[in-house]
């Protein structure tokens, strides 16, 4: 079983080399690394090229970039990793053995925010429990989906934001996700830069807007302005 790790990027030149170096062991083990760039104006593409199997250009937008990456992928399992997140060192074994043992075709990891603040530990616990109870995963938790199931649901819906929530809802209609307790470490830079309570309220506002049918282009504008 081969993994294709698909990383959507946009102006991530400052961090992309660090991420790709961190997951180079997966590439050495025969898994595929694909960077799907959305038109970066910095050195993201140049920095990524020697460290990835494929660096492709896609229309800007995380959903479109990940779908483009998926079409270029050769693996049996598609793993969608954010550029500011780090997988456990044995992520390939966890995913492959988890799928084989559970019989499930999609899943996600628990998440850990990178900062050391106590409130971030509380946020992590809430995020992980909410995901387990709801069967809905966010992109920060590193979604992985068997190719056949990904194709069956039509990939990520073409949304400007909340594409992770939308595809989780589609996948959950078929089966609840495999929940891997080992953690993906994701950057807390937005939380620390914008303030913890402000970020929590923003996430609630975006989720509520999405549930109420608000246009995701408008939600993306709200997200980017904060």
Tens-digit pLDDT profile for residues 151-210: 999 999 999 999 999 999 999 999 999 999 999 999 998 888 888 888 888 888 888 888
Q: Check: pTM over 0.85? Answer yes or no.
A: yes
Beta bridge partners of 180: 109
pLDDT at site 194? 82
For the segment 78-104, what is each residue's pLDDT rounded down to a tens digit? 999 999 999 998 999 999 999 999 999
The chain-wide mean pLDDT, for the chain, equals 94
Sign of CA dihedral 114, 83, 154, 33: negative
For the segment 98-115, what is each residue's pLDDT rounded down to a tens digit? 999 999 999 999 999 999
Are 115 and 188 contacting, i.e. CB atoms less than 8 angstroms apart? yes
pLDDT at site 33? 98
pLDDT at site 226? 56
Distance CA 226, CA 218 (A): 13
Q: 81: closest CA among 46, 112, 43, 108?
A: 108
Token reading at 163: 């594409």
- The CATH number corresponding to 3-190 among 3.90.45.10, 2.130.10.10, 1.10.375.10, 3.90.550.10 equals 3.90.550.10
Q: Residue 71: pLDDT above 90? A: yes
Please list the helix, strand and coil fractions of the chain in percent, rounded to the nearest 5, in that order. 50, 20, 30
pLDDT at site 70? 98
Sign of CA dihedral 39, 163, 161, 199: negative
Are 106 and 149 contacting, i.e. CB atoms less than 8 angstroms apart? yes
Are 17 and 86 contacting, i.e. CB atoms less than 8 angstroms apart? no
pLDDT at site 223? 82
Q: What is the mean pLDDT of residues 126-141?
A: 93
Between residues 100 and 225, which one has the greater pLDDT?
100
pLDDT at site 162? 94
Domain boundaries, the chain: 3-190
Q: Residue 47: pLDDT above 80? A: yes
Token reading at 145: 């989906």
For the segment 15-44, what is each residue's pLDDT rounded down to a tens digit? 999 999 999 999 999 999 999 999 999 999
């Amino acid at each position: 079983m081969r993994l294709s790790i698909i990383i959507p990027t946009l102006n991530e030149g400052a961090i992309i080399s660090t991420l790709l170096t961190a997951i180079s062991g997966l590439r050495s083990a025969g898994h595929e690394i694909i960077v799907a760039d959305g038109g970066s104006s910095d050195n993201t593409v140049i920095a990524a090229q020697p460290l990835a199997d494929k660096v492709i250009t896609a229309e800007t937008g995380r959903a479109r970039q990940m779908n483009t990456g998926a079409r270029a992928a050769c693996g049996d399992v598609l793993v969608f990793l954010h550029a500011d997140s780090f997988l456990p060192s044995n992520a390939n074994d966890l995913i492959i053995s988890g799928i084989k043992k559970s019989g499930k075709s999609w899943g996600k990891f628990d998440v850990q925010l990178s900062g050391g603040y106590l409130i971030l530990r509380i946020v992590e616990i809430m995020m992980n429990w909410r995901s387990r109870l709801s069967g809905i995963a966010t992109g920060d938790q590193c979604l992985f989906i068997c190719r056949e199931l990904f194709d069956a649901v039509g990939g990520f819906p073409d949304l400007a934001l909340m594409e992770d929530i939308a595809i989780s809802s589609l996948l959950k209609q078929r089966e609840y996700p495999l929940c891997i307790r080992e953690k993906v470490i994701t950057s807390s830079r937005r939380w620390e830069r914008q303030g913890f309570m402000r970020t929590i309220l923003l996430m609630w506002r975006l989720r509520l807007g999405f549930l109420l049918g608000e246009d995701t282009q408008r939600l993306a504008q709200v997200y980017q302005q904060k």
